[in-house]
Amino acid sequence: MNFEETLAERIGEAQSVLKAYLPEETGFQKTVLEAMNYSTLAGGKRLRPVLMKESFSLFGGTGELIAPFMAALEMIHNYSLVHDDLPAMDNDKYRRGRRTTWCVYGEGMAILAGDGLLNYAYETACRAFDLLETQAGSYRAVSEALSVLARKAGIYGMVGGQCADIQAEKYPKEAITEELLLFIHQNKTAALIESALMIGAILAGAPKEAVDRMEQVGQDIGLAFQIQDDILDVTGDQQVLGKPVGSDEKNNKATYVSLRGLAAARREVDRLTQEALSLLRSFDRRNLFLEELIEKLVHREK
Amino acid sequence: MNFEETLAERIGEAQSVLKAYLPEETGFQKTVLEAMNYSTLAGGKRLRPVLMKESFSLFGGTGELIAPFMAALEMIHNYSLVHDDLPAMDNDKYRRGRRTTWCVYGEGMAILAGDGLLNYAYETACRAFDLLETQAGSYRAVSEALSVLARKAGIYGMVGGQCADIQAEKYPKEAITEELLLFIHQNKTAALIESALMIGAILAGAPKEAVDRMEQVGQDIGLAFQIQDDILDVTGDQQVLGKPVGSDEKNNKATYVSLRGLAAARREVDRLTQEALSLLRSFDRRNLFLEELIEKLVHREK
């Protein structure tokens, strides 16, 4: 199989795992379950569970213990989109070509669907404890994976980054320092990617030092991904991207590009990518698919 | 100490535990941390953590393992209030005599503060795993407690009940069956109380059969508490209650009282209370404070 075929297969696998863990739409609470499934199954590249599974493989992990965590992380990613789209947040009516959850189910039900997804993520991840009866792994490893998931998703991770981002929108562009911008990107964008790579390593039984290196890989990828996004907003082809370019400048938004210029931004993407790849190649095993996935993700044109 | 003194002491203890686990208001994400603490420290009887601790004591539990779960459950209760108060939900501007979180911090930040509290509840509960190095308890017990917390707070617990409640408000009063009303009360009101009593028992090392009985106690108390609420809305003294009476009838809201009548509602409160108390007295040890607390809670006049 070539890279594209392997990627399609891995995305399909992540999709199946997610579907298997999403709730059945039945009972007096049916509406919130429908809203949760509507938003989660609306599409998406399933990047985070795919990265998690590849990290698990890199450290020799096999079996089903990773599955509930793959589903849980994707639920957390999707709850954040459902709440981000709300009128009180970004007020977005469309995502991935479909009406957003609040447009279809109403604001109140969308708030509840996001809450339901976030909470069900933890309920789902907890199922890994039950799997210990038949799967390789330890209570300690699963509890560490849960702690990482909660930390990276929360106030010292994604939620923290979202807060800083909302606040920063009120500041004049000149007031956004590189330190603040880095905080936002590290937490809002990179934190969940870090958790994906760390949890894969933890559940495969990797030592703490390896988990720490995977956290750094995740941060590098997350930041590179975000800076590339900002570069494409300046240099991208609207036809290829499928969305308008130049929106950051139009919205007077501070980005790495506006702070440091295009050439420095490109150098930073390359530096981060090389750091991530050389860290990845520092282990006993290699995962060539994961290495190629990272290169493609960062150097994408859309 | 008499009952009132003991209760005040227990509430004070729950308050201290909660405060110790709430985040420090520092960093680029400071605003969301302030909003979380504002809503959580706004007051309240700390009923759920107090019940959790008393269940822990009933089964001989000692030490600190219970503390992160006490704080976590109170965070979950408070996130649900923050989201319930939002304009898209109940649109409440005041709670416990203070402006609600969205009134002070804006809608977007209130959504994020609720998300932050829910997620931080799990981050906090996960700290119990770290305490196992010094406290009596097992990974299995902590993981079971976490699973119960997630289940009772989520789509098969509180979130499920909230969804059914929101939907039911759209139906004509005549369409609300006793089955639907019971589902709403069991999930929206009783589920978190069940989790409090179950988690206390689990962390004290009680056997599964005892945990199941405590779940039933929690359900009985939750339902009795809710029906008493509905009774007081009909028979209560506005001065004593500190809020208007007759609001259910005015809002044409289906309650146990409107479905079955006042006399049957009173009998049901008594039946549920007696069942809870006789279950509580079926164990080797007794907790007289917990028994009295339950009687007072259910037969309150305000």
For residues A160 and B28, is the Cβ–Cβ distance under 8 A? yes
User: What percent of chain A has pLDDT above 90?
Assistant: 86
Q: Can you tell me whether residue B98 is helix, strand or coil?
A: strand
The pLDDT of residue A43 is 84
Specify the CATH architecture of the domain B3-298. Orthogonal Bundle (1.10)
Token digits of residue B145: 């407690």
**Cβ separation B29–A151 shorter than 8 A:** no
Q: Give chain B positions within 8 Å (CB) of A187.
A: 29
Q: Give chain A positions within 8 Å (CB) of B139.
A: 139-140, 143
Closest by Cβ to B119, choosing from A108, A154, A163: A154
Secondary structure, 3-state, chain A = CCHHHHHHHHHHHHHHHHHHHCCCCCCCCHHHHHHHHHHHCCCCCCHHHHHHHHHHHHCCCCCCCCHHHHHHHHHHHHHHHHHHCCCCCCCCCEECCEECHHHHHCHHHHHHHHHHHHHHHHHHHHHHHHHCCCCCCCHHHHHHHHHHHHHHHCCCCHHHHHHHHHHHCCCCHHHCCHHHHHHHHHHHHHHHHHHHHHHHHHHCCCCHHHHHHHHHHHHHHHHHHHHHHHHHHHHCCHHHHCCCCCHHHHCCCCCHHHHHCHHHHHHHHHHHHHHHHHHHCCCCCCCHHHHHHHHHHHCCCC
**Cβ separation A108–B89 shorter than 8 A:** yes
Judged against a pLDDT cut of 80, whether residue A301 lies above it is answered with: no
Q: Give A63's pLDDT tier (boundaries 50, 70, 90).
A: very high
Judged against a pLDDT cut of 80, whether residue A243 lies above it is answered with: no
- Cβ within 8 Å of residue A73, ≥6 positions away: A48, A49, A52, A121, A149, A192, A195, A196, A199
Q: Give B249's pLDDT tier (boundaries 50, 70, 90).
A: confident
Q: Summarize pLDDT for B71-91 with one digit per residue, the tens.
A: 999 999 999 999 999 999 999
A67 to chain B, any CB pair closer than 8 A? The answer is no
**Cβ separation B153–A86 shorter than 8 A:** no
- Mean pLDDT score across all residues of chain B: 95
Per the listing, tokens 């089955």 go with: B179
CA distance B29 to chain A (A): 5
- pLDDT (mean) for A3-32: 97
B120 to chain A, any CB pair closer than 8 A? The answer is yes
**Cβ separation A150–B122 shorter than 8 A:** yes
Higher pLDDT, B53 or A1: B53
Nearest CA in chain A to B142: A143
CA distance B139 to chain A (A): 6
**Cβ separation B163–A112 shorter than 8 A:** yes
The pLDDT of residue B250 is 80
Q: Which is nearest to B48 in space by CA: B197, B180, B160, B165?
A: B197
CA distance A84 to chain B (A): 9
Q: Give B25's pLDDT tier (boundaries 50, 70, 90).
A: very high
**Cβ separation A155–B88 shorter than 8 A:** no
Judged against a pLDDT cut of 80, whether residue A244 lies above it is answered with: no
Residue type, B99: R
CA distance B119 to chain A (A): 6
Residue type, B289: F
* Burial of residue B208, with CB atoms counted within 10 A of its CB: 0-12 exposed, 13-18 middle, 19 or more buried: exposed
Q: How far apart are CA A180 and CA A166, in angstroms?
A: 12
Closest by Cβ to B115, choosing from A83, A116, A139: A83
Token digits of residue A34: 């429908």
Token digits of residue B279: 């279950």
B177 to chain A, any CB pair closer than 8 A? The answer is no
**Cβ separation A126–B147 shorter than 8 A:** yes
What was the ipTM of the complex prediction? 0.96
Q: How far apart are CA A64 and CA A57, in angstroms?
A: 12
Q: Give chain A positions within 8 Å (CB) of B159.
A: 29, 32, 112, 115-116, 119
A73 to chain B, any CB pair closer than 8 A? The answer is no
* Beta bridge mates, B94: B99
- pLDDT (mean) for A113-125: 98
Q: Give A180's pLDDT tier (boundaries 50, 70, 90).
A: very high
The pLDDT of residue A24 is 98
**Cβ separation B143–A160 shorter than 8 A:** no
A140 to chain B, any CB pair closer than 8 A? The answer is yes
Nearest CA in chain B to A176: B28
Q: How far apart are CA B65 and CA A89, in angstroms?
A: 38
Q: Give A246's pLDDT tier (boundaries 50, 70, 90).
A: confident
- Cβ within 8 Å of residue B122, ≥6 positions away: A122, A146, A150, B72, B146, B149, B150
Residue type, A5: E
